[in-house]
Chains A and B, each alone.
Chain A
Amino acid sequence: DTEVTQTPKHLVMGMTNKKSLKCEQHMGHRAMYWYKQKAKKPPELMFVYSYEKLSINESVPSRFSPECPNSSLLNLHLHALQPEDSALYLCASSEGVLSNYEQYFGPGTRLTVT
């Protein structure tokens, strides 16, 4: 199983809502990532978890709150988002954080904030 799954595929939320994005992998990977991708732009790294601990936060606003409940799951909790947060949110995983490990990407969640 070389798949990273993400739910939901699409999400529309208001600026006062609280929602969560979910990501799951069963490859035994110990590093997991959240990326944000705006239209026609490359992905931007948001967070990296290594062995269930947050190792990189790329100065992401606190309205985005990541959580790694176990080595297979990664959540992104959303609260009080702005319309400019509308984007494709991609999850990825790799065996570890060292540079020789390949990252496997999920299909993404397309988020629209109204």
Chain B
Amino acid sequence: KNEVEQSPQNLTAQEGEFITINCSYSVGISALHWLQQHPGGGIVSLFMLSSGKKKHGRLIATINIQEKHSSLHITASHPRDSAVYICAVKTSGSRLTFGEGTQLTVNP
């Protein structure tokens, strides 16, 4: 079993829909990252959080440390949100442990 599990693996939505991607982890962590990767490569860091909730534009990330669970929400989804969303946790020092990613496709 992976230390970081994401669900769903693939998600297709219509433009405007509210989207939730989930991340569960089985180890003690110091921080959790949500990353976005568009086709062609580069990774963008969306959030780093260790407790509570953060919001940036249409994106909201929450974390429940006791339940070892985090969610990434996208409100009013748009085709440009289509990307792979990756949950990654920091257990100690500099190492990130990555989930397998969620491929999101938003259709117009």
Contact = CB atoms under 8 A, between A and B. Distances in A.
Interface residues of B, number: 24
Given A42-B86, A94-B94, A98-B93, A107 B42 contact: yes
Nearest to B47: A102
Interface stretch (B17-25, B53-61, B72-80, B96-104): B96-104
A47 to B, nearest CB: 11
Contacts of B42: 90, 105-108
A81 interface: no
B96 A45 contact: yes
A33 B94 contact: yes
B99 A42 contact: yes
Contacts of A108: 41-43
A53 B93 CA distance: 15
A81 B34 CA distance: 32
B59 to A, nearest CB: 16
Given A42-B98, A42-B99, A45-B96, A99 B31 contact: yes
B44 interface: yes
Interface string A37-57: 000111101001010000110
Given A42-B86, A94-B94, A98-B93, A103 B45 contact: yes
A110 interface: yes
Given A104-B45, A107-B42, A99 B98 contact: no
A97 B93 contact: yes
Interface string A82-112: 0000001010101001111111111110100
A90 B45 contact: no
B66 interface: no
Interface of A: 31, 33, 40-43, 45, 48, 50, 55-56, 88, 90, 92, 94, 97-108, 110
Interface of B: 30-31, 33, 35, 41-45, 48, 50, 86, 88, 90-96, 98-101
